[in-house]
Each structure stands twice: as C-alpha cells, then as structure tokens.
Amino acid sequence: MKNHKTIVLSNQEISPGYFRMRILAPDYSRLAKPGQFVMFRVQRSLLPLLRRPFGIFRAGFMPADCDTMPPKEFIEIIYKVVGSGTDIMQGLHQGDPVELLGPLGTGFDLNLTTGDSILVGGGIGLVPLYMLAESIPDPSMAEVLIGGRSRDDIITVTEFERLGVKTFVSTEDGSLGDAGLVTRVLESRLEQKPAARVFACGPMPMIKAVEKICRSRQVQLQVSLEELMACGVGACLGCVVKGKGHSTEKPSYLCTCTVGPVFHADDLDWEDTVSADDCECGVKK
Amino acid sequence: MNRRKKEDKPLNLQVEVAGITFKNPIMPASGTFGYGEEYAPYLDLNALGAIVTKGLSLRPRAGNDTPRVCETIGGMLNAIGLQNVGIEQFIYQKLPFLEQFDTPVIVNFFGNTQDEYGEVAARLDELPGVAGLEMNISCPNVKHGGIIFGTDPGAAFAAVEAVRKNTTKPLIVKLTPNVTDIQVTARAVAEAGADAISLINTLTGMAVDVKTRRPRLANTIGGLSGPAVRPIAVRLVHQVVQAVNIPVIGIGGISRAMDALEFLIVGATAVQVGTANFVDPNAMATIIDELETFCRDEGVEDINDVIGTLSV
C-alpha cells in the first residue's frame, strides 16, 4: 500500500463511454491481488476533490523505452464516464500525471477457485473479475457470464476468451448475445454445474438477484461491492455495509474498502442492504 | 524529507496548547484519521504534532445508514453518525498501538447526556497514554451528538463543567460553527473550565440527487468539510481568538501550509487537518514540510512568532 505519483501510459475508448487506462504502477504486478482496487486521483485541484475507487482490471509489464532500463510495470483500470471525475479522466493522455493509492482492500478468496467456477459480471462490474479469471488454476473449468443493458455495455469479452475461459454474453435489449438478464443465464448455467462456486460484481440489483439464486441452491458466493468512499483505507467509515446479524442493538458495519470490496455472501446482511447505486455523485468502479 | 541545510539556523515549529507540547502545530481532525493505525502505512505518525482519534462514546455506536458521504464543490458532506468502537474497546485495542509513538494522543469523545460526558472523561482521565481530551459538543449528524450542547451556551457550560470536574487532563472543547454568535459559546466553555477551544466542526449542509429527487445522504443532512469551508472557519477562529484568553486550535479546509498559516496568523496556536487526509494520506507530512520551507523563505525562526500576527 503506497501512494504513487505516476503517469498515464495510455487511455483508450474501448466501447462508447467506456475507457481503458493504462497507468505506470511500480510493484503492482507483485502486490495486486484479484479483486483489489486503487484510489485514483486525477489532478491536484479541487475538482474533483476526493479520489475515486477503481477496480484493478489487470497488472502487467511492458517493454522499457531502451535496453538498459527495466521493463515498466503497469495496471489497467476500465471506467465508464458517469460524472465530473470520469469526464476529466477521459481527456487524459500519455504522460499526464495522476496518483494511485493502493493496491487496497481484500480481494477474492482464491482458495475457492479450484473446481467449477462461474464469474458473473454486470456492465463495468466485469472489471475485477479479469484478474480472478487469470488466477484460476484450470481456466477450462471456469465460465464468465457477461451482462449489460446493450451491446455498448459489453466489454473485454475477447480478453476473457484469450484466457481460455468460456464466455456467455447477454444483453437486456438483446443487441448482443442472449436477450435478458445475466441472472437468467446464471440460473441455466447452475443447472449444468450445480456445484460451481460463483463470483459476482455488478450493480446492486444484480448482486441481490445473484445472492438469492445462490442461496436457494446452496452455492458458495463471493461478491465484489461498490460503495461511495472518501478515504479508501478504513478511516472515514463512509463506505460501510451491514454484516451478518446486524441489528440496532448489535451493530455490525463492515468497511467496503478494507474488509471488502470482496465479501463472502454469508458474511453480509442481505435483508437490508443499502445501495448507493443510483447516486450520481459516486463514480463506478 | 528534510530540506534543512547545514548552514541554516535551527527552526522551531514546536507549540504548546493547554500544557501539551506539540512538535509542530499540525494534527489530524477527529474522524478523518481513524484511530491512527489506518494511516500508519502512509505517513510517519511520529512526524505529527499530535494524533486526534475518532470520536468515542461510552458504548460502541453503529452510525448512520449509507450513503454516508457525498462530494460537493470543493468539499464533501458526511453523515457517518459517530460510528465508533466505544471507549473500552479503544483502550484495549487501539490505544496500545498509539502509545508506541512519540506523539501526544488526544482522544475525542462525546456523550448523549451530561452525565455520560462526565463518565467518559473520568475513564479517560485514568489513562497515562492519553495526553489530552477533545470534547465534542458539535456533531451535527446525530440527535445526541453533542450539538444540542454546542448550540446552547447554557448547556455547553454545564456539560464542560461536568467534564472538568472529572478530569485534570488538558481539555479542549470542539465547537460547532452552526450558531448565531460563536463568541457567546466560546466564552461559556472557557468560563466552564476548558483549557483550549478547537473549531470548526462541519457546517450543516445538504445535497439532492436531481434525478431520483432524493437527498444524497441517507441521513438527509450532513456536515460540510473541505476547502470550501475554509474562509468561514478562518473568520470564526478569528472571532473566537478575540473572545477568549485560552488557546485556539483552528480547523476547516486546510490542505496546504498556506491554509494552515491563515489560521495561525489570525491567532490559532495549532491546526487540525481533516478532509485533506482523505485526498492525500500523506497530506499532513507535506504540510509540515511546506511550513518549514515557508519559515525559511520568510526568515521565521520560531513558528510562535507567526501566531496572532494579523495586521488589520
């Protein structure tokens, strides 16, 4: 965990409104675990003031500028332009200064990636699932269910396919892949693979539906959540979610930034999960 | 980073508030620095003037529903609701970590009732690892967060008096800006026995999501902090300095040394850095560095020579 003053290496629109940014990130290929995130600062100004959390899509190396230099370590984040912060981000170019705090948070429990795995990503929620897919010992036993509103919201399918995992695309308007919700695909896949473990990230209504499906079938589930957060390190207590057994008398609030963003579904209180999903002031991971 | 060159004269950044010596006037504002341990990976806690903890109550508190935070222009709204581990858990789980640093620990606390304020103060008074107390009579986000004490000078006087009876430790009282005349409140707490005053706590505010037409915070109303509030904070500190004879700690939108200096010049002896910690976990270390640079550039040998030098 460190704050890096670093630079943008590239920033490309990969689908209308979706950008993939590569950032110079020393040590990240060693440190970053699947499901972790960074607190990203666009510029040293008051707009936007706070950093924004972004899930790490992948970490890697690229060749150095000359033979005598070591290879450059980078991370990639993928973001959807939804507010003032991401609007500034889409205008960044190679060499522009940015700051990265991270890698932060608790990622996926990788002990549960042997055997059949089903990864469920809704829209931009697909992002943290890529490193998870990379780390699955036998990719042929993993399936990735990719859902979105329309074809523009379906991103990085090819990247997943290259890992050797099987992909299933669905859109709500039927413009790409199966028509309908990704949760319907999940139900049908679980018919085929009832013992699979499920890993999900996406909008809260999707997460809740996935949880219901998994609970009724007694399938192990890990979810990656997004909440509005100010600090990312467990100090502001802005991003809490209710833990299992939460009550007014015995409160259990878990920080999404430190205990999460990935939780075992069993550790959360699903009765009354509050979501900031519709809040425009938050930037999606 | 130490920019000091060999030929430079020694520079004194040390200040004293209510009998506590701070190695520099920079410390975190309660609630923005957790219990210190959250920021230890990013910043040397030994470098700080003091560590100020998240506000503690007699028993653990759950806090408010989410969303609890929301960014606004040049600032943020929060309605955390004073979620905290409670005084006992703090003593056993959090304080030992803080005691290993050569930095005074100031414990921020609050109560639901006057008696509860007194009770927490008595418990904290027993602890050698606690250098001073910061009494919060100003949280805007919970019904009994102290604001009822903070907005009523009579209630403020009584609560501070109750705490004063139970502790001999340096007592800082943190004021709310959400009052008509801050000088009245400041005089009341000074008369009741406060050793110092810190201000401002957040300004009450509200933001609305125009699409859903719902408030952006689950609590509807929250506290505004960040650079946006600084001019208001400087004005209030200026007014309090003129009203009382006890030291004042300035808080509100400080993210650079220049901001901190505004407060010192109007008469604050030290300052607290809040929202800036969220923006940059290393913010306070940078401010301390910048403060040194400012002093060297301006030929200031002792930061105390800057305090209260406003020329009107």
The whole-number pLDDT of residue A278 equals: 37
Which chain A residues are Cβ-neighbours of B62 within 8 angstroms?
248, 251, 253
The whole-number pLDDT of residue A120 equals: 96
The whole-number pLDDT of residue B62 equals: 84
Q: Does residue B231 have a cis peptide bond before it, meaning omega lies within 30 degrees of 0?
A: no
B 109-168: CB under 8 A from A: none
Query: Is residue B226 over pLDDT 60?
Result: yes
Identify the residue with better confidence: B206 or A115: B206
Q: CB-based contacts of A65: which residues, under 8 Å, 6+ apart?
A: none
Q: What mean pLDDT do residues B76-95 have?
A: 92
The answer to whether the Cβ–Cβ distance between B207 and A281 falls below 8 Å is yes
What's the first-to-final CA gap in chain A, in angstroms? 19
Give residue-wise pLDDT tens across range A55-91: 999 999 988 777 788 888 999 999 999 988 899 999 9
Q: What mean pLDDT do residues A210-220 have?
A: 94
- Among A48, A236, A276, beta carbon nearest to B71: A48
The whole-number pLDDT of residue A143 equals: 94
Which chain B residues are Cβ-neighbours of A49 within 8 angstroms?
71, 74-76, 226-227, 275, 279
Q: What mean pLDDT do residues B108-126 have?
A: 93
The whole-number pLDDT of residue B142 equals: 58
Residue of A147, A167, A270 lying closest to A211 (CA atoms): A270
Number of residues written out for chain A: 285
Give residue-wise pLDDT tens across range B19-35: 999 999 999 999 999 99
A111: confidence class by pLDDT, cuts 50, 70, 90: confident
- Give the Cα separation of B118 and B145 in Å (integer): 15
The whole-number pLDDT of residue A172 equals: 94
The whole-number pLDDT of residue A57 equals: 96
Number of Cβ within 10 Å of residue B251's Cβ equals 33
The per-residue DSSP string of chain A comes to -EEEEEEEEEEEEEETTEEEEEEE-TTHHHH--TT-EEEEE--SSSSS-S-EEEE--EEEEE--SSTTSPPEEEEEEEEE--SHHHHHHTT--TT-EEEEEEEESB---GGG-SS-EEEEEEGGGGTTHHHHHHH-S-GGGEEEEEEESSGGG---HHHHHHTT-EEEEEETTSSSSEES-HHHHHHHHHHH-TT-EEEEES-HHHHHHHHHHHHHTT--EEEE-----SSSSSSS--SEEEBTT--SSS--EEETTTT-BEEEGGGB--TT----TT-TTS---
Identify the residue with better confidence: A153 or A112: A153
Helix (H, G, I), strand (E, B) or coil at B284: helix
Contact B72, B209 (CB under 8 A): no
Contact B195, B170 (CB under 8 A): yes
Least confident span in A42-51, B46-55, B291-300: A42-51
Q: What mean pLDDT do residues A192-206 have?
A: 91
Give residue-wise pLDDT tens across range A181-198: 999 999 999 999 888 899
- Give the Cα separation of B186 and A92 in Å (integer): 48
- Supply the mean pLDDT for chain B: 93
The whole-number pLDDT of residue B61 equals: 85
From the list B70, B139, B196, B270, the catalytic residue is B139
The answer to whether the Cβ–Cβ distance between A236 and B31 falls below 8 Å is yes
- Give the Cα separation of A241 and A211 in Å (integer): 15
The whole-number pLDDT of residue A173 equals: 95
Is B23 an 8 Å CB contact of chain A?
no
**∠A30-A34-A36 over CA atoms, to 5°?**
90
The whole-number pLDDT of residue A275 equals: 47
Q: Encoding tokens for residue B60?
A: 């653990």
Query: Is residue A281 over pLDDT 80?
Result: no
B139 is known as an active-site residue: yes
The whole-number pLDDT of residue A42 equals: 85
Contact B156, B181 (CB under 8 A): no
The whole-number pLDDT of residue B4 equals: 53
Give residue-wise pLDDT tens across range B141-159: 555 555 678 889 999 999 9
Number of Cβ within 10 Å of residue B22's Cβ equals 22
Residue of B56, B14, B28 lying closest to B281 (CA atoms): B28
The answer to whether the Cβ–Cβ distance between A237 and B226 falls below 8 Å is no
Give residue-wise pLDDT tens across range A221-274: 999 998 889 999 999 999 999 999 888 777 889 999 999 999 999 999 998 654
Contact B176, A241 (CB under 8 A): no
Identify the residue with better confidence: A263 or B84: A263
Q: What mean pLDDT do residues B198-202 have?
A: 97
B104: confidence class by pLDDT, cuts 50, 70, 90: very high
Q: What mean pLDDT do residues A91-110 have?
A: 94
- Give the Cα separation of B250 and B234 in Å (integer): 8
Query: Is residue B66 over pLDDT 80?
Result: yes
Q: What mean pLDDT do residues B57-68 have?
A: 89
Q: What mean pLDDT do residues B99-113 have?
A: 94
**Whole-prediction pTM:** 0.90
Q: For residue B81, is it left (φ>0), alpha (ψ between -120 and 50) or beta? A: left
Q: Encoding tokens for residue A51?
A: 């950093």
Query: Is residue B1 over pLDDT 90?
Result: no
> Strand A97-104 vs strand A2-15: parallel, antiparallel, or unpaired?
antiparallel
Q: What mean pLDDT do residues B186-215 have?
A: 96
CA distance B169 to chain A (A): 26
B 49-88: CB under 8 A from A: 54, 60-63, 65-71, 73-76, 78, 80, 83
CA distance A228 to chain B (A): 7
Give residue-wise pLDDT tens across range B236-259: 999 999 999 999 999 999 999 999
- Among A1, A46, A236, beta carbon nearest to B32: A236
Identify the residue with better confidence: B194 or A45: B194
Residue of A68, A96, A281 lying closest to B77 (CA atoms): A281
Q: Encoding tokens for residue A20?
A: 């993939």
Identify the residue with better confidence: B198 or B6: B198
